[in-house]
């Protein structure tokens, strides 16, 4: 086998073809697994030979990292965590000893985009970057993009790999790319006018930004469905596109198809979880591009289809800074391809509900496990919801309280008191805890141009002090 595959091919399928590579995408899963384990073997051997970090990390394992030939052997390798990366990069700045190429051969440097703590640093070689572009293009083909499409990217061009990965894919596919960005003051108003003028066929961004964009368009007298006329919007970065009522709201507001995508910056190509144009909700797991396991959050054991667990990712062809068994900390469920109601014919497993949150986003309130995306789903399903909310959790004595600040729509048919009671009732029946609800006017809460940050857990602040 050729490992890694040569990067830089310009060939593209016929625009009428459903698939970029029919054999790869529709082959029997067993056949795919044979190829995956060979690639895993090559990837682990490569990392072991070229990275002092991995040699140290695997010094105590009972298998030979230079000769992994089965999934059973692979599953004996230790899990790599975000803290491992941070610690390694602190001790061996800036890249850590994951880096398997000379620093001078790094073509691009990215990093985590958070504002607190030491950022994680990602050095990516040119071959890897070219392969990332090709894989993203392949996956975007399944979303329905074709070379004659015009695509606007409306997420920030900062260290965030979401925007750059989408750009690499859209460029490789041969679309007309409009890398507009987001995050500057007044940029959303400008986006509305550019989109109305340029009529892109597709948009990439975060789902919460799409809703803000749609709301801004309406305020400026545009009908996003009529005046924008998107064919498809593809999203990543946060739950939303697979939160059923949020997805429906975006589909209705823009009258277009919605596709959910995304794993993590560490793993780029992060579109290896991606819906296709036929999938009603959720994402296929393109596990011959990035190998994905679903592991038990407590025991780290591999889970069967149907179970809920933590996606854990392994690069299959990364020469610069490979990640092997990287623990995402996210929570999802998965199912076998033939249990999924998708007519695309691809034989990948599916995450039918997308990624509904990070394990550490889960709020435990009075013994109930609550994901913010569950609350989002209930609120978006209410006709008079004003499109934004906040969650505040506080400890009052021995009891935790769930407080919700919820916007009511300007043109609501229910009065504020009635809306207040409805929210209390709907949320209680969904999550099992009665919230204290404060109703505010539409537009009162800040909108995001990137990933939404809606939760304040004051219990954590109390612990930190
Ligand atoms: C998601 C989703 C999704 C990511 N549904 N949660 O978006 C692409 C990549 C580059 C990205 O967002 O990476 P980043 O900034 O490292 O964040 C990763 C986290 O974002 C991931 O662990 C998830 O919690 C979340 N995320 N895509 C739900 N489609």
CA of 395 from ligand 1 middle (Å) equals 29
Q: Residue with the nearest Cα to atom 9 of ligand 1?
A: 264
How much distance in Å is there from the Cα of 451 to the middle of ligand 1?
9
Residues 254 and 400 in one domain: no
| Nearest-CA residue for atom 15 of ligand 1 | 265
The pLDDT > 70 percentage for the chain reads: 98
Between CA 297 and CA 303 the distance in angstroms is 10
Confidence class of residue 460 from pLDDT cuts 50, 70 and 90?
Answer: low
Distance 463 CA to ligand 1 centre (A): 27
Which range marks the domain in which residue 78 is found?
1-359
Nearest partner of 38 among 291, 296, 213, judged by Cα = 291
Of ligand 1's atoms, which has the minimum distance to the CA of residue 273?
29
Query: Structurally, how many domains does the chain consist of?
Result: 2
Residue 372 and residue 324 in one domain: no
Do residues 344 and 218 both lie within one domain?
yes
Does residue 465 register a pLDDT over 70? no
Structure tokens at 389: 């909310």
Residues 189 and 271 occupy one common structural domain: yes
Q: Using a pLDDT cut of 90, give the percent of the chain over it.
A: 93
Q: Are residues 397 and 338 in the same domain?
A: no
The string of pLDDT tens digits covering residues 8-58 is 888 999 999 999 999 999 999 999 999 999 999 999 999 999 999 999 999
* pLDDT grade for 201, boundaries at 50, 70 and 90: very high
Q: Given a cut of 50, is residue 313 above it in pLDDT?
A: yes
Average pLDDT value over all residues in the chain: 95
pLDDT tens for 360-401 read 889 999 999 999 999 999 999 999 999 999 999 999 888 899
Residue 112 is encoded by which pair of tokens?
């985590």
Instruction: Compute, in angstroms, the gap from residue 330 CA to the centroid of ligand 1.
Output: 9
Q: How far is the CA of 226 from the centre of ligand 1 (A)?
A: 30
State the CATH number of the domain containing residue 199: 3.40.50.12780
Q: Which atom of ligand 1 is nearest to the CA of 329?
A: 22
Q: Could you tell me the distance, in angstroms and rounded to a whole number, from the CA of residue 14 to the centre of ligand 1?
A: 31
Structure confidence at residue 300 (pLDDT): 97
Q: Answer whether 334's CB lies under 8 Å from 349's CB.
A: yes
Decide which of 316, 336, 359 is a domain's last residue. 359
Indicate whether 349 and 388 sit together in one domain: no
Regarding whether 173 and 300 lie in a shared domain, the answer is yes
Instruction: Give the up-direction half-sphere exposure of residue 158: CA atoms within 13 A in the CB hemisphere.
Output: 12
Last residue of one domain, picked from the residues 305, 333, 359? 359
Atom number in ligand 1 closest to CA 358: 24
Asked if the ipTM is above 0.90, the reply is yes
Residues enclosing ligand 1, CB less than 6 A?
A: 160-162, 236-239, 260-262, 264-265, 270, 328, 330, 354-355, 358
Whether residue 200 sits in one domain with residue 156: yes
If you measure from the C-alpha of residue 262 to the centroid of ligand 1, how many angstroms do you get, rounded to a whole number?
A: 5
Is the same domain home to 32 and 140? Answer: yes
The tokens describing 4, both together, are 């890694």
User: Is pLDDT of 118 > 90?
Assistant: no
| 294 Cα to the center of ligand 1, angstroms | 16
**pLDDT for the residue 396:** 82
Q: Whose CA is nearest to atom 8 of ligand 1?
A: 162
Separation between Cα atoms, residue 266 and residue 132, nearest integer Å? 12
Q: Are residues 355 and 372 in the same domain?
A: no
Same domain, 153 and 7: yes
Boundary residue ending a domain (302, 328, 359) = 359
| Residues 300 and 397 grouped into a single domain | no
The domain that holds 439 is classified in CATH as 3.30.300.30
Give the residue, out of 355, 358, 371, 372, with the most ligand 1 atoms within 8 A of its beta carbon, to mutate for a pocket test: 355
């Amino acid at each position: 086998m050729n490992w890694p595959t040569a990067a830089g091919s310009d060939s593209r399928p016929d625009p009428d073809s459903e698939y970029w590579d029919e054999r790869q995408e529709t082959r029997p899963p067993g056949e795919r697994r044979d190829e995956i384990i060979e690639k895993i073997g090559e990837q682990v051997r490569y990392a072991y030979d070229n990275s002092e970090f991995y040699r140290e990390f695997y010094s105590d394992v009972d298998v030979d990292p230079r000769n992994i030939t089965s999934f059973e052997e692979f599953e004996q390798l230790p899990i790599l965590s975000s803290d491992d990366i941070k610690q390694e990069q602190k001790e061996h700045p800036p890249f850590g000893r994951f880096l398997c190429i000379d620093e001078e051969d790094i073509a691009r440097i990215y990093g985590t985009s958070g504002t607190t703590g030491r950022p994680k640093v990602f050095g990516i070689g040119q071959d890897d970057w070219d392969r990332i572009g090709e894989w993203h293009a392949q996956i975007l083909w399944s979303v329905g993009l074709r070379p004659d499409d015009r695509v606007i990217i409306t997420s920030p061009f900062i260290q965030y790999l979401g925007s750059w990965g989408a750009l690499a894919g859209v460029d490789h596919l041969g679309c007309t790319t409009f890398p507009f960005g987001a995050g500057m003051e007044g940029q959303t108003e400008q986006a509305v006018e550019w989109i109305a003028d340029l009529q892109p066929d597709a948009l990439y961004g975060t789902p919460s930004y799409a809703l803000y964009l749609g709301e801004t368009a309406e305020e400026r007298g545009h009908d996003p469905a009529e005046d924008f006329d998107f064919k498809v919007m593809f999203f990543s970065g946060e739950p939303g596109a697979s939160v059923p009522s949020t997805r429906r709201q975006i589909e209705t507001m823009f009258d277009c198809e919605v596709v959910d995508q995304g794993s993590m910056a560490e793993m780029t190509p992060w579109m290896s979880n991606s819906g296709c144009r036929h999938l009603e909700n959720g994402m296929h797991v393109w596990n011959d591009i990035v190998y994905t396991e679903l592991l038990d959050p407590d025991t780290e054991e591999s889970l069967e289809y149907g179970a809920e667990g933590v996606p854990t990712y392994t690069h299959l062809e990364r020469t610069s800074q490979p990640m092997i068994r990287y623990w995402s900390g996210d929570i999802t469920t998965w199912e076998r391809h033939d249990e999924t109601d998708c007519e695309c014919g691809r034989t990948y497993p599916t995450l039918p509900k997308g990624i509904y949150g990070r394990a550490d986003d889960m709020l435990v309130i009075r013994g109930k496990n609550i994901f913010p995306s569950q609350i989002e789903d209930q609120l978006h399903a209410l006709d008079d919801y004003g499109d934004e909310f906040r969650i505040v959790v506080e400890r009052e004595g021995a009891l935790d309280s769930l407080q919700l600040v919820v916007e009511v729509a300007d043109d609501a048919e229910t009065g504020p008191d009635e809306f207040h009671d409805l929210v209390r009732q709907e949320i209680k029946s969904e999550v099992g805890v009665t919230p204290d609800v404060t109703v505010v006017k539409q537009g009162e809460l800040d909108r995001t141009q990137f990933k939404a940050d809606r939760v304040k857990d004051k219990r954590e602040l109390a612990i930190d002090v």
